[in-house]
Structure 1
Amino acid sequence: MATPLTAARFLDALRGESVDVVEVGSWRTHNRAGHGAWGPMNGVMIHHTVTSGTNTSVRICRDGHSTLPGPLCHGVIDKAGRVHLVGYGRANHAGLGDGDVLRAVVAEKTLPAATEADTDGNRHFYGFECINLGDGKDPWPEAQIEAIARTAAALCRAHEWDERSVIGHKEWQPGKIDPRGPIGTKDGPALTMAKIRARVAELLKSGKPTAPSKPSKPTAPKPYSPPKFPAGLAPGRKSPSAKGLQRALKAAGYMSKAIPEADSYGPATQAATARFHQAHPAYRAAGQHYDPAIGPRGWAALHTIAYGGKK
């Protein structure tokens, strides 16, 4: 149990563990202050983003989306092993989890299975989102795994915790699966929190952290640019571009992920498009209450909501 590090101390701890840090905008003051407590701190939680691409992933984790405001973590760890700091303070990353798991983390004991969702994890954990599709097939590069371990070790060292203070989202909240996927290649061994904790333990046992890495220049994500509207995309028509519409509708939360993607702009796609228009009436056809057809402006708005981190 510990008081949260200051933003400056947090940054120093990461760099002291040779973590390649990228500071994104005003990350030091970007948080969910006023929406619950932050601290005492008890551990580090690892997630996967279910996204691809560094710029898009960083933007979403910084800004959040229509149903969950950002920041969605404190740092985003990309495939190359860089840690992009997007917020500091309370963040929407852990949600409600099992109080028995928290007590085990505090005591640095073996974790029980998470069966309850009764404790506010956003208050007690530093959170890091790692770029991975989360489909069990997208590989985790060794550089990314090493960055995860060094990031976790940095905070454990700063708070005098051991590796058992590092947990995965799936170990905290019932029903979660992150992080998961193969190491190195699609046929590689599965990534486990045990592997990450073992590397954290090695780093902590090595004694004094290595010299700080050269800091990266602060950056701001590039503005999101939605893909061009595909001509001929319309209800009832068969078109490969219908799959792109379906993926965006799923990512924005207007279409069930259980519905398989198809080239057909059929009833399920039309209904999901109408739900999008109900939520964003500025993009539906004049006089339409149930509007199943997407146009260029709606297409751009939908993709920006789904992938650009905008409401």
Structure 2
Amino acid sequence: MATPMSASAFVKALRDEGLTVVEVGDWRDHNRNHKGAWGPVHGVMIHHTVTKGSANTVSICQHGYANLPGPLCHGVITKDGRVHLVGYGRANHAGLGDDDVLQAVIAEKALPADNEANTDGNRHFYGFECENLGDGEDPWPAVQLEAIERAAAALCRHHGWDERSVIGHLEWQPGKVDPRGFTMASMRARISDRLDGPSSDDWKPSTPGTTPSKEDPMAGYSQAQIGDAVLHRDNIPAPKSAPDKAKNPKWTLSSYAQTILNTLNTALDELRALRKAVDALAKKES
């Protein structure tokens, strides 16, 4: 249980964790507080947006829809790894969820199945919407996954929470599937690793046309540019497994590379989660 941090402390925590933060409009005063209480806060909730295009995604999360007014979260994490702050206070992101899940988050214990929708989550969770179509095929760039990890860790670090205070929407509300494309177990393992060390501001995401980042020397180039530079030609036949083969009969070399990289990243995340579980068991037995 914790009192929500101030807007100034919120943005400072994110930047101290090494994130590039974009402050959108009057985000500090943009909220749904007139509809109910904001706080005490107990954790962080991760979502995917089912949208495409960063500008469009940020606008939707800021303003919402006719039947669901914004803000729809506190921060929007776009594919380039930037965190766009669109609101602060009560936000329409979590909805009603399972009270047993909330109690497990508060106790920082393993989550039970979410089979009820009887508790106001908008009051108790910070929310990050992450730009992704949520179809299981839209990729999650490494820079975006690291931004999710850092954003969640920043809030956990401030409040003294561990990684079990971070959940996905699919773990809170029956019928939800977000975030889809990575597992929350793997993300919590990453957050746990980060919380084992100090916060850091030595990492900044890059976008095409800017200086490549310290961690990724190719960050200033598009996947197509990298693929074409390696292969010296525009396209190669798409694999039979290409989900969009009917619309795009050819893939760039970078598409193959990205598919392989996504598979390797998933395997690495699962190994990290397994290592954490083994370490925890060893400590318990000792």
Post-superposition CA distance 1:74-130 (Å, at most 9, x none) = 000001110000000000000000000000000000000100000000000000000
Would the aligned equivalents of 2:19 and 2:204 in 1 still touch at CA under 8 Å? no
Post-superposition CA distance 1:283-307 (Å, at most 9, x none) = xxxxxxxxxxxxxxxxxxxxxxxxx
Between the aligned partners of 1:156 and 1:22, the Cα distance in structure 2 is 21
In the alignment, structure 1 segments of 5+ residues that lack a partner are 182-190, 217-311
Shift of 1:173: 0.2
Tell me the SS of whatever aligns to 1:174.
coil
Residue identity in the other structure for 1:56: N
Between the aligned partners of 2:35 and 2:72, the Cα distance in structure 1 is 14
Identity of counterpart residues, as a percentage? 69
- Match for 2:200 among 200, 206, 210? 210
In the alignment, structure 2 segments of 5+ residues that lack a partner are 207-286
Would the aligned equivalents of 1:16 and 1:213 in 2 still touch at CA under 8 Å? no
- Match for 1:195 among 186, 194, 197? 186
Shift of 1:211: 3.2
Residue identity in the other structure for 2:74: H
Residue identity in the other structure for 1:55: A
User: TM-score under structure 2 normalisation?
Assistant: 0.70
Task: Determine which structure has more spread, i.e. the larger CA radius of gyration.
Answer: 1
Q: Superposed, which structure 2 residues align to 1:2-151 within 5 Å? A: 2-151=2-151
Between the aligned partners of 1:76 and 1:100, the Cα distance in structure 2 is 27
Would the aligned equivalents of 1:21 and 1:215 in 2 still touch at CA under 8 Å? no
What RMSD in Å do the two structures reach over aligned CA positions?
A: 1.5
Tell me the SS of whatever aligns to 1:201.
helix
Post-superposition CA distance 1:159-193 (Å, at most 9, x none) = 00000000000000000000012xxxxxxxxx100
Between the aligned partners of 1:63 and 1:110, the Cα distance in structure 2 is 35
Which structure 1 residue ranges, 4+ long, deviate > 3 Å from structure 2? 211-216
Would the aligned equivalents of 1:76 and 1:129 in 2 still touch at CA under 8 Å? yes
1:186 corresponding residue in structure 2: none
1:164 corresponding residue in structure 2: 164
Between the aligned partners of 1:36 and 1:163, the Cα distance in structure 2 is 27
Would the aligned equivalents of 1:15 and 1:212 in 2 still touch at CA under 8 Å? no
User: TM-score under structure 1 normalisation?
Assistant: 0.65
Q: How many residues align?
A: 206
Tell me the SS of whatever aligns to 1:9.
helix
